[in-house]
């Protein structure tokens, strides 16, 4: 393998790739002087293809979500480590389903139990087993994922402004790994309530970072981090959710809009959009109108004109969606227009 290949990877990605190689997750499918194909096991098997010319890397592809938006992922790095150290594990021939059935049918209940225990000694196997077969996860199980999110966002060195960019980059890498592995498993086994709680944890941590470090507001990486966070809730909103969970998401969006002191415009715009477009029917329409009327009245009394403008724009968009024409909307909002215009004239 060409010397110095590690330099093309981000530090965090490279470290995770090396860990995957050490854990023996790399499996060779095809290895020639000009072409390498392998699989790496993360939350599922990902296919990696590498084109070579005299050990020089020409091109690399991976089927993982991270590689769709980034040139080099940890799975590519893990394969290169394996090639370099000649430790690639040859993929074993797969066993046909009917052979597996024959083996299981021949086992006694006691032996089946022992087999299951052996398989579940691996923590990852046990965690997926719980997700698949437990209708309701224990608090301990849920705390495992909550703590994972907190660890993702826990970095030292914030007092040094020069370190901010690398810290945000590492948080982003960790979050994408979480989305690629844990989130996909939770989604697979329809743990929608837990996913929503994890998204709230991510959202709270993200806002906390921005509130504490206003200099980060315009960082490209902060926008990238927000975008990756929103992948979770956007995917969740496309699922067939229970009425109670839909209500929780709706109420949370109202709470977010009500207390939106955040500078994270991407998250704020997201909540405005799901407020307007994702909840339909008479019940939600009434709740939206009640919320906006209450917030408009409160901010008008407090002379919070910037906030009032934002709420009126939201009210305008809602009325448009309800089918009101411009003349009807103008009449409904005329008293507020007058106040805002008077304020503009005195400034």
Q: What is the pLDDT of residues 101-152, one digit of tens each?
A: 888 888 888 888 888 777 777 666 677 888 888 888 888 889 999 999 999 9
Looking at the fold, whether 17 and 58 belong to one and the same domain comes out as yes
Retrieve residue 130's tokens. 């719980």
Same domain? For 110 and 157 the reply is no
Query: How many domains would you assign to the chain?
Result: 3
Which of these three, 63, 90, 117, is where a domain ends? 90
Question: Can you tell me the distance from the alpha carbon of 239 to that of 216, in angstroms, rounded to the nearest whole number?
Answer: 33
Q: Which helix (H) or strand (E) holds 84?
A: helix 74-84
Does residue 173 lie within any of the structural domains? yes
Domain for residue 61, yes or no? yes
Confidence of residue 264 (pLDDT cuts 50, 70, 90): low
Q: What per-residue confidence (pLDDT) applies to 181?
A: 85
Q: Looking at the domain assignment, is residue 265 inside a domain?
A: no
Q: Is 280 inside any structural domain?
A: no
Which of 240, 269, 293 finishes a domain? 240
Residue 128 located in a structural domain? yes
Share of the chain above pLDDT 90, in %: 27
**Residues 207-225 pLDDT 10s:** 887 776 665 555 667 778 8
The position carrying tokens 């909540």 is 271
Q: 304 in a domain, yes or no?
A: no
Asked if pLDDT for residue 241 goes beyond 90, the answer is yes
What contacts 24+ positions apart, CB below 8 Å, involve 65-69? 65/176, 65/179, 65/180, 66/176, 66/177, 66/180
What is the C-alpha to C-alpha distance for residues 322 and 318, in angstroms, rounded to an integer? 6
Give me the pLDDT at residue 347, please. 40
Domain ranges, residue 101: 97-133
Span between the terminal Cα atoms of the chain, in Å: 67
Q: Taking a C-beta distance cutoff of 8 angstroms, is the pair 274, 262 a contact?
A: no
Is residue 152 in a domain?
Answer: yes
For 255, residues 6+ apart whose C-beta sits below 8 A from its C-beta are none
Question: 192 and 108, same structural domain?
Answer: no
- Domain-ending residue, one of 30, 63, 90: 90
Per-residue pLDDT, 132: 84
The more confident residue out of 170 and 262 is: 170
Q: Clarify whether residues 117 and 67 are in a common domain.
A: no
The answer to whether position 78 is within a domain reads yes
Q: Which of 12-21, 81-90, 264-273 has the highest mean pLDDT?
A: 12-21
64 lies in the same domain as 105 = no
- What is the reported pLDDT for 87? 47
Whether pLDDT at 156 is above 80 = no
Q: Is the pLDDT of residue 90 over 60?
A: no
Residues 170, 204 within the same domain? yes
């Amino acid at each position: 393998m060409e010397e110095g290949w590690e330099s093309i990877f981000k530090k965090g990605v490279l470290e995770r790739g090396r860990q995957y190689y050490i854990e023996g997750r790399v499996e060779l499918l095809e290895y020639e002087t000009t072409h390498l194909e392998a699989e790496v096991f993360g939350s599922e098997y990902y296919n990696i293809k590498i084109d070579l010319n005299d050990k020089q890397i020409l091109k690399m592809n991976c089927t993982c979500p991270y590689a769709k938006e980034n040139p080099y992922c940890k799975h590519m790095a893990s394969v290169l480590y394996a090639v370099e150290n000649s430790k690639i594990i040859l993929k074993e021939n797969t066993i046909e389903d009917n052979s597996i059935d024959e083996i299981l049918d021949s086992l006694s209940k006691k032996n089946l139990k022992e087999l299951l225990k052996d398989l579940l000694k691996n923590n990852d196997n046990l965690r997926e087993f719980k997700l698949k077969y437990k209708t309701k996860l224990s608090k301990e199980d849920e705390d495992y994922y909550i703590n994972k999110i907190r660890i993702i966002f826990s970095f030292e060195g914030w007092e040094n402004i020069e370190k901010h960019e690398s810290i945000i980059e590492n948080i982003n890498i960790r979050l994408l790994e979480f989305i690629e592995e844990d989130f996909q498993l939770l989604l697979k086994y329809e743990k929608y309530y837990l996913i929503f709680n994890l998204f709230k944890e991510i959202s709270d941590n993200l806002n906390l970072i921005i509130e504490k470090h206003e200099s980060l507001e315009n960082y490209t990486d902060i926008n990238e981090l927000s975008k990756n966070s929103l992948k979770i809730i956007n995917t969740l909103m496309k699922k067939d959710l229970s009425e109670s969970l839909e209500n929780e998401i709706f109420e949370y969006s109202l709470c977010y809009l009500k207390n939106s002191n955040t500078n994270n415009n991407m998250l704020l715009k997201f909540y405005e959009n799901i407020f307007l477009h994702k909840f339909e029917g008479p019940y939600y329409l009434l709740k939206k109108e009640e919320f906006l009327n209450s917030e408009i009245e409160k901010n008008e009394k407090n002379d919070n004109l910037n906030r009032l403008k934002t709420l009126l724009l939201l009210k305008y968009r809602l009325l448009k969606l309800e089918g009101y024409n411009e003349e009807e909307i103008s009449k409904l909002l005329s008293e507020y227009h007058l106040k805002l215009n008077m304020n503009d004239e005195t400034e």
